[in-house]
């Protein structure tokens, strides 16, 4: 493992962007005392910290109390910016067009028979009868993706944050490659799960593109950003940031793309680098 001190760091970074699962969080989904202290110290030193995750806003309770200053987090792989100080209020949504989502559903049904779907809306998640949900949600509608994505009978339909596609037999990376070939430039497809679960967003929507917008609003350049991640949905963010770290437990593609490498998530790899940054200041 490369020590943070062996990797280039900006003279004075202005923003730290970190993934959550497999990166900032331990495997038991906890935030260690060391990491909590490092995040607070970074904010005190004038470095903003953004949580940038594939999680929907309703799953941000695990870190909401550790957001300082701005209170914003980027969720759903860049499809939503939320204010955690305001209980997860949506500040911006970069929705997936419903007609496009329907086209993606059909393309994957044809290319990978057996694919099942969930639809993540700004109001919650809904899924097909055979889709394996992460959490049982009593408020979810269980129906075909075609019905879930159809026009609402009354009033405007809630924006689609992302479409989730699961395959019971294909390996994760094979499913990702197959899906990208089948869908082409209709949408952005990535993955963050160890299972064959893909996440489909609007074309051009990614952690990187939304983070870039948030940084531009603050006059922060990519060279002033230090990013952390572990899975393919972090790749664009890690290559966009001036300095990036793959976790010791990261996917091989992430290890190859990042400019540095740190300890695993269970070893507080993000905190290790933040401490090094602050020591250099």
SS3 194: coil
Q: Considering only CA atoms, which of 30, 2, 37 is closest in space to residue 278?
A: 37
pLDDT given at position 228: 98
Distance CA 242, CA 8 (A): 9
Q: Is residue 3 predicted with pLDDT exceeding 60?
A: no
pLDDT given at position 154: 36
What confidence tens digit (pLDDT) does each residue in 124-164 have? 899 999 998 656 677 788 999 999 998 554 345 799 999 99
pLDDT given at position 70: 64
Give 55's contacts (C-beta < 8 A, 6+ positions apart): 20, 21, 75, 76
Q: Considering only CA atoms, which of 189, 188, 214, 228 is closest in space to residue 82?
A: 214
Of all residues in the chain, the percent with pLDDT exceeding 90 is 76
Distance CA 57, CA 77 (A): 11
pLDDT given at position 69: 62
Of all residues in the chain, the percent with pLDDT exceeding 70 is 90
Q: Could you identify the residue written with the tokens 């953004």? A: 50
pLDDT given at position 93: 95
- Compute the mean pLDDT over every residue in the chain, rounded to the nearest whole number: 90
pLDDT given at position 134: 59
pLDDT given at position 242: 95
Phi and psi, residue 158, nearest 5°? -65, 145
What confidence tens digit (pLDDT) does each residue in 78-118 have? 999 998 877 778 899 999 999 999 999 999 999 999 999 99
What residue ranges define each of the domains in the chain, with the CATH number in brackets? Answer: 4-94+206-280 (3.40.50.1000), 98-202 (3.30.1240.10)
pLDDT given at position 155: 41
What confidence tens digit (pLDDT) does each residue in 174-223 have? 999 999 999 999 999 999 999 999 999 999 999 999 999 999 999 999 99
Contact 239, 39 (CB under 8 A): no
């Amino acid at each position: 493992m490369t020590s943070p001190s062996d990797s280039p760091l900006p003279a004075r970074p202005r923003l730290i962007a970190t993934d959550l699962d497999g990166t900032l969080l331990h495997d038991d989904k906890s935030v260690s005392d060391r990491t909590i202290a490092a995040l607070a110290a970074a904010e005190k030193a004038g470095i903003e910290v953004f949580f940038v995750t594939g999680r929907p806003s309703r799953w941000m309770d695990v870190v909401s109390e550790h957001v300082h200053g701005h209170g914003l987090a980027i969720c759903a792989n860049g499809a939503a910016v939320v204010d955690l100080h305001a209980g997860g209020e949506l500040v911006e949504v970069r929705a997936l067009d419903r007609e496009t989502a329907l086209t993606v559903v059909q393309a994957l049904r044809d290319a990978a028979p057996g694919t099942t779907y969930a639809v993540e809306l700004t109001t919650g998640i809904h899924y097909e009868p055979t889709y394996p949900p992460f959490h049982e949600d009593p408020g979810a509608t269980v129906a075909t993706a075609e019905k879930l994505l159809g026009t609402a009978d009354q009033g405007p339909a809630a924006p689609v944050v992302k479409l989730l596609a699961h395959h019971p037999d294909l390996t994760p990376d094979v499913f990702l490659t197959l899906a990208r070939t089948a869908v082409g430039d209709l949408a952005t497809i990535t993955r963050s799960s160890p299972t064959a679960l893909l996440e489909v967003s609007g074309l051009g929507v990614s952690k990187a593109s939304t983070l870039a917008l948030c940084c531009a609003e603050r006059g922060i350049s990519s060279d002033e950003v230090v990013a952390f991640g572990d899975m393919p949905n972090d790749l664009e963010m890690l290559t966009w940031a001036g300095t990036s770290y793959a976790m010791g437990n990261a996917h091989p593609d992430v290890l190859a793309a990042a400019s540095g490498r740190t300890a695993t998530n269970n070893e507080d790899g993000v905190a290790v680098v933040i401490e090094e940054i602050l020591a250099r200041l």
